[in-house]
Structure 1
Amino acid sequence: MTRRGAKSDIHIGISGWRYPPWRGRFYPTGMPQREELTFAAHMLPTIELNGSFYSLQRPDSYQQWHDQTPEGFVFAVKGSRYITHMHRLKDVQGALANFLASGVLALGKKLGPILWQLPPNLAYQGERVEDFLALLPHDSRAALALARQHDERLNGRSWLKAPRGLRIRHAMEVRHKSFVDPAFIDQLRRHRVALVVADTAGRWPLIEDLTADFVYLRLHGDKKLYSSGYGEAALDRWAERIRAWRQGRQVKDAKLASEVAARRGRREVFCYFDNDTKVYAPFDAASLAQRLGVRTGFGGA
């Protein structure tokens, strides 16, 4: 069992934390909104920041999020939709520089993977994907070099510091069936970017190829998108998969886009529940964590 606050290679958490229906059910009745992140971060060891998807956040916000969470906590950060949905990955060097300069690096050692979620109507275009993947920095030195290229909109509100040697990891979530292509899997592996395993109640492709030395799993609901909970059998199934990925194995019934097997080797696993509308997410996360021996603030594991 992993001690709370100890370094673990399995991270089970939630996508976002500021949801009004959670108040009085997950959050204690009457808890001030400003205390919700601290509460959630003591209940679960990781959270996916999703405000960064909708707009550039400010450095002081990232600093506050860092300071409101315990040692050993990890944030995944959702990349800007300006890059993925508006520019659709094309000609995005300036936008990527602005995103990295906006304060992401202020999370320091609490920075986990950066998630790039593509829109459902963006089909696979190998050259466009290749150009984007080639831009992504994989350490703090490269990230800072790119962040310093930010434009005038970030003047006076940029953050251009990061711990030396900080690893910058990236994951890509696809929602168009044309990405079920071995060429795409090869690209991700060459650029050390994780393919997001996304359970979306059958709406978008579920692809389980392993493409990096970590796995990024998003559980949006297995029967109804964003709103259905995960039953005992479903949680057992995901726990089995996480154990295999952690140990460097692939499950026998994996849904794969490529016949080329992934390299064997232990993998860190990040898993986020996004079935938030009926307050299932934090409790499903705790149940899955318990199965995997990951300690939470719910008691038990």
Structure 2
Amino acid sequence: MAESKSGKIYVGIGGWTFEPWRGTFYPDKLSQKRELEYASQHLTSIEVNGTYYGSQKPESFRKWHDETPEGFVFSLKGPRFATNRKELALGKESVERFLASGILELKDKLGPLNWQFMETKKFEPEDFEAFLKFLPESVEGRKLRHVVEVRNDSFAAPDFVELARKHKVAFVTAGDSKFPQIADVSTDFVYLRIMGTEEKHKKGYSEAELDAWAKRAKTYASGKVPSDLKRVSDKDAKAEPRDVYLYVISGHKELNPSAAMALIERLK
């Protein structure tokens, strides 16, 4: 975990179970049962995709907590049953079920909850606000951080940014992908998902590209917005300390751990 004068910066990947990482990221003879332990010693966060497709048992969250070092955090994807709806206002029960599924067993290692929407889901202010109202600031005394991952160009609008600010919810800033890039900030943390790793680079990205993303993360952590990313609102959020969560996702997935570790090294 890298710290600036303002926020903390966490860098990681999506999940920890991926066969091509065995023998590349993971040592050849490492037991699969120890892959999370190993990954958490080389990264500072992991985004869990499995919670998007189905519920996990409280015992699993407890196990993840115990297998990872102090300071490590997990980002969990909210269930698709809550977000893949024509009418988001009907997703309250799915949200509540997820929040009560045992995620608090992660304790201080519980990071942001990523509510991912399909590319076909368009911005309809009233319906989307109904969903945001389902997202509590805390559960059982544990503060929660919510982030919405919107993938339709209709969300690249000032009204969406203001709605997120009103409800103190972050939104994913996409990098190197076809999804809309919304670099504005809306709350006390920033969530980046970069998707451009390529096989031709040993670390997934060129050295210059790694330098650029490290610089952007530091800029966000200092309370500013990187000037080379696309904003959609001309209204500035208050410049204040912000934690940053940066995940290397998709692209040439085999090299994502290498890219994440290279970024961590730059942020030391």
- What secondary structure sits across from 2:191 in the alignment? strand
Tell me the distance in 1 between the aligned counterparts of 2:242 and 2:179.
Answer: 25
Give me the CA root mean square deviation. 1.9
Paired residues, number = 262
Give the TM-score normalised by structure 1: 0.82
Distance in 1 (CA, whole Å) between partners of 2:153 and 2:175 is: 14
| Cα deviation code 1:142-190 (max 9, x no counterpart) | xxxxxxxxxxxxxxxxxxxxxx4x2100111111000011111001001
Q: Which amino acid aligns with 1:62?
A: F
Determine the structure 2 residue equivalent to 1:151.
none
Tell me which residue corresponds to 1:250: 225
Counterparts in 2 of 1:90-101, with a 5 A limit?
A: 90-101=89-100
Counting strand residues as a fraction of each chain, which structure ranks higher?
2
What's the CA shift for 1:277?
4.6
Mapping of 1:182-221 within 5 angstroms?
Answer: 182-201=158-177, 203-221=178-196
Deviations for 1:22-67, whole angstroms, at most 9, x for unmatched residues?
0011111122211100010111111111110111111111111111
Structure 2 match to 1:24: 23
Which amino acid counterpart does residue 191 of structure 1 have in structure 2?
H
Separation in 2, partners of 1:78, 1:200: 21
Gap runs ≥5 in structure 1:
142-163, 294-301
Q: Which runs of 5+ in 2 are unaligned?
A: none
Partner Cα distance (1:252, 1:200) in 2: 16
CA distance change for structure 1 residues 130 and 230 in 2, over 3 Å: closer, same or farther?
same
- What is the distance in 2 between the residues matched to 1:129 and 1:68? 37
Deviating beyond 2 angstroms after TM superposition, the runs of 4 or more aligned structure 1 residues are 86-90, 251-254, 275-278
Aligned residue in 2 for 1:63: 62
Separation in structure 2 between the aligned mates of residue 281 and residue 223 of structure 1, nearest angstrom = 9
CA contact (8 A) 2:195 2:249 kept: yes
Amino acid at match of 2:214: A
Q: Any idea what SS the aligned residue of 1:218 has?
A: strand
The CA deviation string for residues 75-113 of structure 1, in whole angstroms up to 9 with x for no partner, is 111111111124662311111111111111111111000
Cα 1:88/1:269, change in 2 over 3 Å: farther
Residue equivalent to 2:151? 175
Q: 2:12 — aligned with what? A: 13
Aligned twin of 1:44: 43
Kept in 2, the 8 Å contact 1:229–1:275? The answer is no
Percent of aligned pairs with the same residue? 41
Is the contact made by 1:89 and 1:132 (CA closer than 8 Å) also made in structure 2?
yes
